[in-house]
Structure 1
Amino acid sequence: MTSPEDAAVSPGSAAAPESTPQADDAVRVLRRVFGYDSFRQGQREIIDHVVAGGDALVLMPTGGGKSLCYQIPALVREGTGVVVSPLIALMQDQVDAVTALGVRAGFLNSTQEWEERRRVEAAFLAGELDLLYVAPERLRTAATLDLLARGAISLFAIDEAHCVSQWGHDFRPDYLALSALQQRWPEVPRVALTATATEATRAEIASRLGLERARHFVAGFDRPNIQYRIAPKKEPRRQLLKLLRTEHPDDAGIVYCLTRASVEKTAAFLAENGVEALPYHAGLDARTRAAHQARFLREDGLVMVATIAFGMGIDKPDVRFVAHLDLPKSIEGYYQETGRAGRDGLPSTAWMVYGLQDVVQHRRMIDASEGGEEHRRRLGAHLDAMLALCETVECRRVHLLDYFGQRSEPCGNCDTCLTPQQTWDGTVAAQKFLSAVFRLRRERGQSFGAGHVIDILLGRRTEKVAQHGHASLTVFGVGTELNESEWRSVVRQLLARGLLAVQGEHNTLALTEASGEVLARRRQVPLRRDPERAARAESAARAAGSGGAGGARRSAAADLPEEAAQVFERLRAWRGATAREQGVPAYMIFHDATLRQIAVELPSSLAALGGVSGVGESKLAKYGRQILDVLGPGEPGDEDGGVQDTLGF
């Protein structure tokens, strides 16, 4: 397995419990059940700590192997591991995924019929489950708490723990009740896991879940296989279509839009242009959402166009791109959403288009949001951090990781590294624009949006300019050194830096306290120069990265030798047919990374196949002979390769 950076232990965290004989079983379970020879860096320390009975707060990037940090301790310790997950629509797939490994698992949520729920409860009480997935709202009911009290629990795993943070990007009120687990089961270890949390959010998670004394494990946030790119928004749907046609034809991906209407229009646009795409948002009925989600998980090459209601807990490893057509509300949300690409470690793209209207819309939404001044201040801080990422001229990965408190060097695999950005002294331009806004308000008592102010600066005698007599303003026509697109870039960056404000339902512009510093010539305003053509930067990025993670050709077989690539495609075809026959996602059979290794190594016996990363005993027994048949004749007399009938843990 590819290893992320070492897990770090936060200062002041409780010391790890001493190693126990049980902890030594973890490696055997890793090999036998999951098919891996060694842990990723950081995993073993977490697993040993939880196996020994310690509480833990785990931050590990999406695709970093968080689930093993509670699955293996649950298999090693006595009793059933109870996993708290908000993903009701995905619980069946979560259970199917571990069941395919030979793990005994079930779930309890509101979608089940009475008879199925009773069957799962009986299995739990009989000690016949290794893992039990439970929706957080179930733990607020006396019936569920009484059920758990009558069984043997090995640990509590609280997945997507950022949901407990009221200032995070996906707050769920039901998570607030989970602090009761500590009071009712003080001897049962608890592990809270998330992929996204700043130091402040982490402290809030620990406080709300009663994990102040838990040991904190903070793995590196970097996802080096993901190329981050942000382009000026012009014709977003056509920009997206170009990305899919030139870099990701027939790839699975997720496109995020801010509104339901935009989701519907974008999905329809892609479908009309030959891209198989489905919409997903809260306005669709539950059956349609479930059907679209199931298709996305089970079919290759499907594009899901969605609001942020979609995606949390999606374990599909071969999502090759995540695209944002609208600006996310926070870096935490952006990181969580882009992290759904490339869970298998193969090259993937995080692509976004961003423009003036995004800034205007978000500023207006914050001003109109419910809650007090402190709430709006926090929302504004989140947006400011997101805008700073968009406007940076430095490495985007460095900026992104710095937000989470991780220092790094320029990556060489983001748009600002591949196509270095230029800056220019925009102080005079900023003064001209701010002066125009000031004069409209001071001299005329009027306020307008960006488009009209730009018309004034460009000296355009439009109908609105004539109607209000704005050609007589001293700023009329003083901005002809820039074109309209360049002025819009100026306005966007002034808004991003808090040098301009948006007011009212008509999105009119107003000055801020900081505007005065610019007008009084006490503050310089360096600005980021947008590329003349976004396509030029994208082409350069693709050309520069064609041999690595940034390459335009990003399929899982792209860098394999020709013969191995052909074998890989045969294996994928077998996997697809097997998945359809069983009615499960293809990745539950084997991940692409496992098929790639098989295609390269060409194991000729079950014993050799069992040494491939990702081939555990259960999958070897179930699929081993079929794979050898796809590869060709095996060695005579090798009928079982030493495969055991039971997992034996």
Structure 2
Amino acid sequence: MGKSIKGQTRTQLIRGLLRNVFGVDQLRSGQQRVIDSVLAGRDTLAVMPTGSGKSLCYQIPASLLDGTTVVVSPLISLMKDQLEKLEEIGIAAAQLNSSLTAAEELEALDSVRRSQSDIVFCTPERLATQEFLALLKDTRIALLVVDEAHCISQWGHDFRPAYLEVGAALRALERPPVLALTATATEDVVADIQQQLGTHDMQVINTGIYRPNLHYAVKQVTNPDERTSEALRLVREAEGCGIIYTSTVKAAEELLPMLEEAGESATLYHGRLHAAERKLNQELFMAGERRVMVATNAFGMGIDKPDVRFVIHLQVPASLEAYYQESGRAGRDGEVADCTLLYFHDDKRVQQFFLAKHYPDSAALRAAHEAVSAQALPARRDKRLQVALKLLKDGGLLRQNRRLEFLLTNREARASDYDRLAAQYQHKSERDREALELMVSYAQSARCRWKLLLDYFGDDTAGIERCGVCDNCKSPPTIDSVR
């Protein structure tokens, strides 16, 4: 936009933007530190809790920097929401994802080509395409933002193979400054994000994960019927709206009619529903026309409903990262919210079953290679197949053409190749098992719930030993009750 952003002038510009454009009186300290780092041209990783205003950390720089800000996000619904909000305040933005019609896509591409958009949202899959990269190479890229950056890390709870291409895209674009954003990141995840992006001199700004308005509790149950009864009781006694997370589609579909029979206003969200039904159910919940959302973790990132008063986990999640992210969808308005885990020890087996299916073994790699050879790859690919294809590509057994279709290379595949490539994820599988054990330890612990979370994430910024509001702080368990 051609504006000077030095010294006092920059401060005045930011204040003016906040007041006149974004309708905000002042930045929070964490936001200010991130924006200052970005405007100084530094690669930056911001670890900021849900509801802390991460979007302003790129919207303000995008309004000041010369060139286009590209925001990589896995969430098409969030792109649409952000786009509408930016257009309302007069900031030019475009989105490129699979939801667009052909005419809308051509219009968006033209706006990028003409540098008419300050902010361009795209999925990681779109960023990886040769055509889009070629277009961006002819555009002045001021900043590349990686939203939900934990998805790029193989140690993160929500690793997504498409994110592995972001590092290659950065190199193809001759390394514009990077801003990576996430709500949670352990030391291992931070290091992996830096490695994947090739940004080893990254400014890491961690504002801490502590949210004192979230009141954590664990309720031990001894069988599935008691678990369901307890969930119904919690919903009945709770005020306001809330989310019940289940680990399986079956559990979600069984719980919904029980809630409805009990007179509760509820709806359903999981990955096996048709897209139109998912969209409708989400809109009913977001608009307040349904009080309770019963969902798998498919109902996740980008759900920005500030008045969620409770989150119940019917079954134990796979890790503390997943639990913090999902429970953190409560209380975004800063008001008190309850986060309750119903712990039945047999539920651990469900997560063990999922973990066993996450990563490809030698046989899965061979099957993926043979599917490419026979031109029989399915259109919809689960995470295990995506990882297999990525491993085969990195191992020189597959390549991708300009349309990103997988093709065989001239290299002959041997059994030892499949074994070698599969071994790369053995350590990851072990780490996933350890993460599940730590989740179980949290559920069984007599210590302060917040202290356990803060220790896990290596966060000492809050400086607390006891939160005073979790179940273990309010009613310390006896020795017998935690055996």
Q: TM-score, normalised by structure 2?
A: 0.80
1:34 aligned to which of 16, 22, 34: 22
**Aligned twin of 1:188:** 176
Note if contact 1:318-1:341 (Cα within 8 Å) is conserved in structure 2.
yes
AA partner of residue 465 (structure 2): E
Superposition map of 1:236-635 within 5 A? 236-248=227-239, 251-299=240-288, 302-363=291-352, 366=355, 370=359, 371=361, 373-407=426-460, 408-424=464-480, 528=482
Distance, in Å, in 1 between the alignment partners of 2:35 and 2:314 is 39
Does the CA contact (< 8 Å) of 2:150 and 2:184 recur in 1?
yes
Compute the displacement of 1:269 (Å): 1.3
CA contact (8 A) 2:309 2:330 kept: yes
Query: What displacement does 1:196 show?
Result: 1.2
> Residues 134-161 of structure 1, C-alpha deviation per residue, up to 9 Å, x if partnerless?
0110011111112222333221110001
**C-alpha distance in structure 2 between counterparts of 1:160 and 1:325, whole Å:** 25
- Could you say what secondary structure the match of 2:316 adopts? coil
Structure 1 residue 339: Cα displacement: 1.0
Q: How far has the Cα of 1:91 moved from its partner?
A: 2.3
| Contact persistence 1:393–1:416 (CA under 8 A) | yes
In 1: Cα distance, 2:289 partner to 2:63 partner: 32
Is residue 138–residue 144 contact of structure 1 (8 Å, CA) maintained in 2?
yes
SS at match of 2:342: strand
Preserved CA contact (<8 Å) 2:227 2:344? no
Name the residue aligned to 2:114: 126
Shift of 1:297: 2.3
Unaligned 5+ segments in structure 1 are 1-16, 425-526, 530-649
Q: Secondary structure at the match of 2:28?
A: coil
Provide the C-alpha distance between the structure 2 equivalents of 1:155 and 1:23, rounded to a whole number of angstroms: 20
Please show how residues 28-177 of structure 1 align to structure 2 within 5 Å. 28-177=16-165
Contact 2:238 2:310 in 1 (8 A): no
Give the RMSD, CA atoms, in angstroms. 2.1
How far, CA to CA, are the matches of 1:294 and 1:270 in structure 2? Answer: 19
Whole-angstrom CA distance in 2 between matches of 1:175 and 1:376: 19
Secondary structure at the counterpart of residue 482 of structure 2? strand
Cα distance change of structure 1 residues 23 and 56 upon mapping to structure 2, 3 Å threshold: farther
Q: Tell me the matched-pair count.
A: 409
Does the 8 Å contact 2:133/2:169 carry over to 1?
Answer: no
Inter-CA distance 363–139: structure 2 relative to 1 (3 Å threshold): closer
Cα distance in 2 for residues equivalent to 1:137 and 1:76: 28
For residue 365 of structure 1, report the CA deviation from its aligned partner.
5.2
User: Structure 1: how far apart are the matches of 2:318 and 2:67?
Assistant: 41
> Unaligned regions of 5+ residues in structure 2, if any?
362-422
**Cα deviation 1:573-619 (Å, max 9, x = unaligned):** xxxxxxxxxxxxxxxxxxxxxxxxxxxxxxxxxxxxxxxxxxxxxxx
Distance 1:41 1:414, change over 3 A: same
* 1:18 and 1:52 in contact (8 A); partners too: no
Identity %: 42
Q: Give the alignment partner of residue 178 of structure 1, picking from 156, 163, 166.
A: 166
In structure 1, what is the Cα distance between the partners aligned to 2:183 and 2:243?
18
CA distance in structure 2 between the aligned counterparts of 1:19 and 1:358, rounded to whole angstroms: 56
For 2:355 and 2:275, the matched residues in 1 are separated by 30
- What is the alpha-carbon distance in structure 2 between the residues aligned to residue 20 and residue 117 of structure 1? 40
- Letter paired with 2:288: E
Task: State the alpha-carbon separation in 1 of the partners of residues 444 and 272 from structure 2.
Answer: 33
Q: CA deviation at 1:44?
A: 0.7
CA distance in 2 between counterparts of 1:126 and 1:265 reads: 52
Instruction: In structure 1, give the amino acid aligned to 2:107.
Output: R
In the alignment, is the contact (CA less than 8 A) between 1:256 and 1:324 conserved in 2?
Answer: yes
**Conserved in 2, the CA contact under 8 Å of 1:59 and 1:195?**
yes
Quote the offset at 1:299 in angstroms.
2.9
Task: Return the TM-score normalized by structure 1.
Answer: 0.60
Contact 1:23 1:76 in 2 (8 A): no
- Separation in 2, partners of 1:364, 1:179: 31
In the TM superposition, residue 242 of structure 1 has moved relative to its aligned partner by 1.6
Tell me how far 1:45 sits from its aligned partner. 1.4
- Structure 1 residues 103, 272: CA separation in 2 closer, same or farther (over 3 Å shift)? farther
| Aligned-partner SS, 1:42 | helix
